[in-house]
Amino acid sequence: MNIKITGSGSCIPSQNVTNADFLNHTFLNEDGSAFPQSNEIVATKFKEITGIEERRYATDDLQSSDLAFHAAQKAIESANIDPETLDYIIFAHNFGDVKKGAIQGDMLPSLASKVKYKLRIKNPKCVAYDMLFGCPGWVEGVIQASAFIKAGMAKKCLVIGAETLSRVVDIHDRDSMIYSDGAGATIIEATNDEGGILAHESATFSYDEANYLFFGNSFNKNNDPNVRYLKMHGRKIYEFALINVPKAMKECLDNSGINILDVKKILIHQANEKMDEAIIQRFYKLYNLAMPEGIMPMSIKNLGNSSVATIPTLYDLITRNQMENQQLNKGDVIMFASVGAGMNVNAIVYKL
C-alpha cells in the first residue's frame, strides 16, 4: 500500500492587486514616523527582493472557507471520488474566516466543518478539523493524513490550505505587500500504485524563535491599539530559514533513499523569491552541488504569498499544465518544503 495525491484543486481569487496599487499607501516605520523613501522606491526594492509583481485578494463576499470549498470541489472532481467516502477533512489555516472590514476572526464552527457543510457530506464518520501550523500547515496536514492511513484509521483524506491574509495585514507596514489570498486542496489516498510519500520531516523551533511571526499593533499610532495585525521579524526569519529548512530537507531526502540527482522539482512555500532561492542553493550545497536550473517552480511573482495555500496551489497549477515551462510526469520524484510561524519547518519526498 502506498499513499498518494490522487486529486488536486485550487481557488485563485479574481481581484488582482499590482505593486502600483500601493503607491498611494502611507507606509510608516515601526515607531510611527514617516518613511523616508518614496513609494516608488519602496515598490522597486520590494520586487527586487521578493519577486512579487502582483497578488490576488478575495472579493468582499468570500472568506477562507469559501475559497477552500471551491478548491476542495475541484480536488474531489479531479480524484473522481464520492465525497461521502472521505474519512478526514484537514483544513490548514491561521486566522479563520475574516470578513472584509471585520476586526475579529471567526473560527466557530471550525473551517473544516464549514467546508464539510458546504460539500453537503452526510457521513458523520468523516471527521473534520482545523490545523494551525503557520505556513507549513498544508504539508503537515498531508503528513497527518498519511499517518491516519498508515494506522488503518483512514483510506481517503481531504487536505486543504486556505487563507485571506489581505484582511489581517497592517496597510502602513511595507510587509503587507507580500501577502495574498487563495486556497489549494488535495485528496490523499491509499493506493496500490507505485510511488507516493517516501519520507517526511517536521520540526518546531520555539525556544527563541516562537515570536518571529506574531500579532502586533499598527505602525499608525492613531489606530485602535486593541486591533492587532500580522507582523514579522523578517531578517530573523530569513536567517532561520536558511539554516533550518535545508537541514530538514536533507534529513528527509536521506531517509527516503532517493539520490538528490533524481529529484525533478522542489515545491517550496512561496514566501519570498530571494529567500526561497537561497534555501534551495543551501540545500544543494549540503551535497556539494550547484542548484539545478528550473528545479524550483515559482508562482509568487503573480500570486504573492498566500501562506498555507502556496504549495497546494503550485502543485495544482503544474499538474494541470497551467504553468509555463513546468511539467510533472508519472514516476517523477519531487519535494515539498515549508517554513513559517511557530517557528515550524517540514518537508516531504514524494514520487508521482
Judgement on whether residues 231 and 121 belong to the same structural domain of the protein: no
What's the confidence (pLDDT) of residue 36?
A: 84
What's the confidence (pLDDT) of residue 237?
A: 96
pLDDT of 250-282, one tens digit each? 999 999 999 999 999 999 999 999 999 999 999
Q: What is the largest CA-CA distance in the chain?
A: 61
166-to-14, 109, 180, 235 alpha-carbon distances in Å: 13, 22, 6, 22
Last residue of a domain, one of 193, 222, 241: 193
Specify whether the CB–CB gap between 189 and 177 falls below 8 A.
Answer: no
Question: What angle in degrees, to the nearest 10, is found between the helix axes of 273-285 and 234-256?
Answer: 40
Section 81-86 average pLDDT: 98
Judgement on whether residues 171 and 269 belong to the same structural domain of the protein: no
Judgement on whether residues 144 and 205 belong to the same structural domain of the protein: no
Q: Residues in the chain, how many? A: 352
Judgement on whether residues 160 and 207 belong to the same structural domain of the protein: no
Specify the number of domains making up the chain. 2
Judgement on whether residues 19 and 160 belong to the same structural domain of the protein: yes
Section 196-211 average pLDDT: 97
What's the confidence (pLDDT) of residue 35?
A: 82
Last residue of a domain, one of 193, 212, 243: 193
Q: What is the mean pLDDT of the chain?
A: 95
Range of the domain at 244: 198-351
Judgement on whether residues 216 and 172 belong to the same structural domain of the protein: no
pTM strictly above 0.85:
yes
Judgement on whether residues 295 and 177 belong to the same structural domain of the protein: no
CATH of the domain at 186: 3.40.47.10
Question: Which residue stretches of the chain are H helix?
Answer: 39-50, 64-79, 111-118, 137-150, 234-256, 273-285, 300-303, 310-319
Judgement on whether residues 18 and 87 belong to the same structural domain of the protein: yes
Judgement on whether residues 188 and 299 belong to the same structural domain of the protein: no
Judgement on whether residues 42 and 181 belong to the same structural domain of the protein: yes
Report the distance separating Cα 135 and Cα 236, nearest Å: 16
Judgement on whether residues 291 and 233 belong to the same structural domain of the protein: yes
